[in-house]
Structure 1
Amino acid sequence: WERMLDRVLPAIVVIRVNYVKPFDGDQAGSAHATGFVVDFERGIIVTNRHVIGTGPIRAEATFVTKEEVPLTPLYRDPVHDFGFFHFDAAHLKYAGELQAAAIELAPEKAKVGLEIRVVGNDAGEKVSILSGTLARLDRNAPHYQSDGFNDFNTFYISAASNTSGGSSGSPVLDSSGRAVALNAGGSNNSSASYYLPLHAVVRALDALKAGVEPPRGTLRVVWRHLTCDEIRRFGVNDATEGELRAYHARHRDPLTAVGLLAVEQVVRGGRGEAAGLAEGDLLVELGPHKFPDFDGLEAFLDTCQNTPFDLVVERAGKRLSLTIADGAESLHALNPNSFLEFGSGVLHELSLGAARNGNLDRTSGVYVAFAGFVLDAAGVPAHSVVVAVDDAPTPTLAAFEAAASKLADGQRVTLRFYNIGDQYNEQVAVIRNNARWFRVLRWTRTDPPLADVRAAGAPTPRNPSPLQRSSATFQRSHDSPEANAVVSCLCKVSFDVLHAIDGVHDWHFVGAGLVVDAALGLVAVDRNTVVTSLGECAVTFAAAVEVPAKVRFVHPTHNFALIQYDPAHFAGAAPDCRPTAAKLTPSQLKVGDRLQFVGLCRTNPDQSLSQHVTVTEISCVNIASAHVPRFRALNEEIAKFDQVLNKSLGGVLVDASGDVVATWSCYSFYSWNDEKNYEAFHAVSVDVLAYAAEKFAAAKGAQPAPLRTVGFGLKRLPLSTARTSMKLSEAWVRKLQAAQPSRSQVLSVAQLAHAGDDGGILEGDLVLAVNGSPTATFRDVEDAAKDEASVTVTLWREGVARDVALKTDAVKCGAGTERVVVWCGLLLQAPHRAVTEMGAPGTGVYCSYYLYGSPAHFYAIKACRFIVEVNDVAVADLDAFVDATRSVRDGDAVRLKTSDLQGQVVATTLKTDYRFWPSHEFA
Structure 2
Amino acid sequence: MSNHTGESKAQDQDGSAAVRAAQVAGVRRPDGSVLPGQHAGAANGCRAAARRAVLAQPGISQLGADAGARDPVDVSIKAQCVRSFDTETSGTYTATGFVVDVEAGLILSNRHVVNPGPVVAQAVFVNYEEVELQAVYRDPVHDFGFFRFDPAKLKFMEAEAIRLAPHKAKVGMEIRVVGNDAGEKLSILAGTLARLDRTAPEYGLGEYNDFNTFYMQAASGTSGGSSGSPVLDIAGDAVALNAGGASKAASSFYLPLDRVVHALRLVRRGQRVARGTVQAELEHVPYDGLRRLGLPLALEQRARAAFPQAQGMLAVRAVLRSGPAHGHLRAGDIVVAVDGAAHSGFASFEAAEDAAVGRTLAVSVWRGDAAHDAQLHVQDLHAITPSRFVEFGGGVVNELSYQVARSYGAAVGGVYVASSGHALGSAGAWRGSVLQRVGRVDTPGLDAFVRAVAALREGARVPVRFVALDRPHKQRVGIMHVSTRWHALRLAARDDATGRWEYSHMARPAAGASAAPQTVAHHPLPRSLDPAGAVWRSFVGVEFHAPFLVDGMRAARFQGPGLVVDAAGGLVVCDRDTVPIALGDVYVTVAASAVLRARVELLHPTHNFALVRYDAAQLAGAPPVDLPLHADFYSGARRLEQGDAVHVVAVSADQTPVVRRTRVAARAMVATAECAPPRFRCVNAQGLRLNDQPPCLGGVLCDERGRVQALWVSVSSQDAAHKDTTTMLGLDISVLRPALDALRTAARVPPPLRSLDADLWPLRPAAARALGLSDARLAQAEAAPNAQLLSVSALLACETPAARALRVGDVVLECDGAAVRDVSALAVVAAPAVDLVVLRDGREQALHVETTELDAMETRRVVHWCGALVQRPYRAVLEQVQRLPSAVYISCTLFGSPANAAGLRPGMWITEIDGRAVATLDDFAEALDAMRSGAPRYVRVAVAGKNLVARVLSLRVDNHYWPPWELVHDEAEASGWRMVEKAVD
Please indicate, yes or no, whether the TM-score normalized by the shorter chain is above 0.5: yes
2:511 is paired with a residue of what secondary structure?
coil
- The equivalent residue for 1:94 is 156
Does the CA-based 8 Å contact 1:114-1:134 persist in structure 2? yes
Letter in 2 for 1:124: G
1:614 maps to 2:671: no
Matched, 1:642 2:708: no
Report the residue type matching 2:602 in the other structure. F
The residue that corresponds to 2:218 in the other structure is 159
Match of 1:81 among 132, 143, 157: 143
Q: Deviations over 1:572-627 (max 9, x none)?
A: x34xx533333152433211110000011212x2x211101101222222211112
Indicate the residue corresponding to 1:752 in structure 2: 795
**Partners of 2:763 and 2:71 in 1: CA distance:** 68
Instruction: Pick from 53, 65, 78 the counterpart of residue 16 of structure 1.
Output: 78
- The residue number in structure 2 matching 1:684 is 731
Aligned partners of 1:269 and 1:765: how far apart in 2?
77
Q: 1:580 aligned to 626, 631, 656, which one?
A: 626
CA RMSD of aligned residues (A): 1.9
Tell me which amino acid in the other structure corresponds to 1:302. Answer: D
CA distance in 1, matches of 2:492, 2:743: 46
Q: Partner of 1:664 in structure 2?
A: 712
Q: Does 1:263 align with 2:316?
A: yes
Give CA-to-partner distance per residue, 1:669-717, whole Å, 9 cap, x none. 12232x42222221222221233212222x4243233022321111112
Letter in 2 for 1:437: W
Please say if 1:596 is aligned against 2:670: no
Deviation at 1:501, TM superposition (A): 0.8
Amino acid aligned to 2:427: A
* Displacement after TM superposition at 1:126 (Å): 2.1
Q: Aligned residue for 1:203?
A: 262
Residue 925 of structure 2 is aligned to residue 878 of structure 1? no
SS at match of 2:922: helix
Specify the SS of the correspondent of 1:704.
coil
Local SS of the residue matching 2:471: coil
TM-score under structure 1 length normalisation: 0.94
Residues 439 and 465 from structure 1, CA distance in 2 versus in 1: closer, same or farther, beyond 3 angstroms? Answer: farther
Matched position secondary structure for 1:425: strand
Give the aligned partner of residue 766 of structure 2.
Answer: 720
CA distance in 2, matches of 1:218, 1:66: 42
For 1:130 and 1:493, locate their aligned partners in 2 and report how far apart those are by CA, in whole Å. 58
Runs (4+) of structure 1 exceeding 6 A deviation are: 6-9
Give the letter aligned to residue 150 of structure 1: N
Residue in 1 that maps onto 2:406: 356
Is the counterpart of residue 340 in structure 1 residue 399 in structure 2? no
Structure 1: gaps of 5 or more residues: 253-257
- The Cα offsets for residues 258-314 of structure 1, whole Å up to 9 and x where unpaired, read as 11211111112222225x111111111122432320111112211122333322111
> What is the rounded CA distance, in whole Å, between the counterparts of 1:166 and 1:734 in structure 2?
71
Moved more, 477-486 or 2-11: 2-11
Q: Taking structure 1 as reference, are residues 483 and 271 closer, same or farther at Cα in structure 2, changes over 3 Å only?
A: closer
Q: 1:590 & 1:581 partners in 2: Cα distance?
A: 22
For residues 34-58 of structure 1, give each alpha carbon's deviation from its aligned partner in whole angstroms, at most 9, with x where no partner exists: 0000111110100000001111111
Choose the corresponding residue for 2:486, options 437, 441, 444: 437
| Partner secondary structure for residue 531 of structure 2 | helix
Partner residue of 1:230 out of 285, 289, 306: 289
Cα 1:306–1:616 shift into 2, 3 Å: closer
Structure 2: which 5+ residue stretches go unaligned? 1-35, 39-50, 56-68, 969-985
2:320–2:411 Cα contact (<8 Å) kept? yes
Match of 1:702 among 742, 745, 748: 748
Instruction: Name the CA shift for 1:631/1:337 in 2 (closer, same or farther; >3 Å).
Output: same
Q: Distance in 1 between matches of 2:190 and 2:76?
A: 19
Letter in 2 for 1:30: T
Which position in structure 2 is the counterpart of 1:57? 119
Alignment match, 2:874: 832
2:956 is equivalent to residue 911 of structure 1: yes
Tell me the equivalent position of 1:71.
Answer: 133
2:930 is matched with which residue? Answer: 887
Partner SS state of residue 923, structure 2: helix
What corresponds to 1:898 in structure 2? 943
Aligned to 1:240: 299
Contact 1:553 1:816 in 2 (8 A): no
Residues 777, 233 of structure 1: CA spacing in aligned structure 2 closer, same or farther, 3 A cutoff? farther
What TM-score results when the alignment is normalised by the length of structure 2?
0.88
> Could you tell me how far 1:640 is from its partner in structure 2?
1.7
- The CA distance in 2 between the partners of 1:237 and 1:167, in whole Å, is 44
- Name the structure 2 match of 1:189: 248
1:768 Cα deviation after fit? 1.8
Cα gap change, 1:175 to 1:710, in 2 (>3 Å): same
Paired with 1:676 and 1:241, the residues of 2 have a C-alpha distance of: 63
| Structure 1 residues 462 and 91, CA gap change in structure 2 (3 angstroms) | same
1:842 is displaced (CA, Å) by: 9.8
Q: Compute the displacement of 1:450 (Å).
A: 0.5
**What is the CA deviation profile of residues 410-450 of structure 1, one whole-angstrom value per residue up to 9, with x for unaligned ones?**
12221110001322221111112223223431111112220
Secondary structure, in 3 states, of the residue corresponding to 1:492?
A: strand
Superposed CA deviations along residues 169-203 of structure 1, whole A, max 9, x for unmatched, are 00011111011110000111111111000000011
Query: What's the offset of the Cα at 1:86?
Result: 0.2
Mapping of residues 292-303 of structure 1, within 5 Å: 292-303=344-355
Q: CA deviation at 1:547?
A: 1.2
Aligned position for 2:186: 127
Aligned residues: 895
Distance in 2, matches of 1:70 and 1:787, equals 59
| 1:545-560 superposed matches below 5 A | 545-560=594-609
CA distance in 2, matches of 1:139, 1:591: 74
CA distance in 2, matches of 1:581, 1:627: 36
2:676 pairs with one of 593, 608, 627: 627
Over 3 Å counting, the alpha-carbon distance change for 1:479 and 1:391 in structure 2 is: same
Query: How many Å apart are 1:230 and its aligned residue?
Result: 2.1
Residues 8, 771 of structure 1: alpha-carbon distance in 2 compared, 3 angstrom cutoff: farther
Residues 260 and 465 from structure 1, CA distance in 2 versus in 1: closer, same or farther, beyond 3 angstroms?
Answer: farther
Residue 314 (structure 1) aligns with: 366
How far 1:811 moved relative to its partner? 2.6
Residue of structure 1 in register with 2:782 after alignment: 737
Contact 2:95 2:225 in 1 (8 A): yes
1:479 to 521, 524, 528: 528
Which amino acid in structure 1 is aligned with residue 490 of structure 2? L
2:320 counterpart letter in structure 1? V
User: Secondary structure of the residue that 2:510 maps to in structure 1?
Assistant: coil
CA displacement at 1:902 relative to structure 2:
3.1
Return 432-441 or 310-319, whichever deviates more.
432-441
Q: For 1:578 and 1:633, how far apart are their aligned partners in 2?
A: 29
CA contact (8 A) 1:472 1:545 kept: no
Greater alpha carbon shift after TM alignment, 110-119 vs 874-883: 874-883
What's the CA shift string for 1:343-392, capped at 9, x where partnerless? 111111111111212222223x2111110110112211011000111232
Between stretches 31-40 and 438-447, larger displacement belongs to 438-447
Residue identity matched to 1:297? F
Instruction: Please tell me whether the aligned partners of residues 230 and 240 of structure 2 are also in contact (alpha carbons under 8 angstroms).
Output: yes
Judging changes above 3 Å, is the alpha-carbon distance between structure 1 residues 140 and 624 closer, same or farther for their aligned structure 2 residues? same
1:569 equivalent in structure 2:
618
Residue identity in the other structure for 2:329: L
Give the Cα separation in 2 of the matches to 1:404 and 1:469: 24
The offset of 1:855, in angstroms, is 1.0
2:700 counterpart residue number: 652
Please tell me the residue identity of whatever aligns with 1:681: M
1:103 aligned partner: 162
CA contact (8 A) 1:625 1:632 kept: yes
1:460/1:291 CA distance change after superposition, 3 Å: closer
1:369 aligns with 2:418: yes
Q: Is the 8 A contact 1:159 1:193 kept in 2?
A: yes
* Residues 806, 233 of structure 1: alpha-carbon distance in 2 compared, 3 angstrom cutoff: farther
2:61 matched residue in structure 1 = none
2:830 to 783, 787, 806: 787
